[in-house]
Amino acid sequence: MLKNRNRYSGPATEWLRAALAKTAADAVPRTPPAPAFAARCREAAETGLYLLKLQQEQVRVGPRLLPLLPYLEGLARLARVSLAPVLARFEIDARETVDSKAASRMGLLCKAIGIDLEQAIVHVRLAVAEAAGHRMEPCTVLARQSAGRTLGANRGGLSRALREGEGALSTAELMESAACEAAVRAVYSKEPS
């Protein structure tokens, strides 16, 4: 003879079953979600998909010596996604001045798509120089010299090229560049919550 293995059945627990069944029925929404809520959910899912595609493309393409936004625009073109919702998600305005607050948001985006810390710093430092109206010609030369080599294989040369290129920056611009680098490093040092 088989014993009933469910110890919680019988008349003593019927009240609990009835209460759970009633609350479960009450918890199910009887109306569809509001159109604005549904649109926000769709937008969030689409942005998440765009981030994933940018991450995949970033891994495929690898690092490039460009300011962050031109690099991201190139990735978005290759991945065939719209960059606007991604930038909006991280509150990045392509027209804004690159300061430590903007650099922090840029660092969050870099981290989200899998760009390593050193590459993120390069992108942001180049963005700061470009925003100040300076072209980083040594980086262009370095990019030609290191064709086919990874960013990691040429980190020493890259640091020298950035320092040479930043020689044209004013003291205030150099301080801003250092603050932006510190902001990016802070983002990468935080553990995900």
Residue 145 — very low, low, confident or very high, per pLDDT cuts 50/70/90?
very low
Residue with structure tokens 């072209």?
Answer: 135
List the one residue out of 115, 103, 105, 119 whose CA is nearest residue 158.
119
Find the length of the chain: 193
Question: Are the C-beta atoms of 181 and 100 separated by less than 8 Å?
Answer: no
Question: pLDDT tens for residues 4-56?
Answer: 555 555 555 677 777 777 777 666 666 787 899 989 989 999 999 999 999 99
Helix, strand or coil, per DSSP, at residue 167: coil
pLDDT of 88 strictly over 90: yes
Mean pLDDT of 104-121: 92
Which ranges of 29-169 would DSSP assign to H, the alpha helix? 35-61, 68-79, 84-89, 100-112, 117-131, 137-145, 155-166
pTM over 0.85: no
| Residue type, position 50, single letter | Y
Residue 187 — very low, low, confident or very high, per pLDDT cuts 50/70/90?
very high
Residue 156 — very low, low, confident or very high, per pLDDT cuts 50/70/90?
low
The predicted structure's pLDDT at residue 5 = 52
Residue with structure tokens 């569809």?
Answer: 32
The predicted structure's pLDDT at residue 2 = 46
- Give the angle 53-81-125 at the CA atoms, nearest 5°: 75
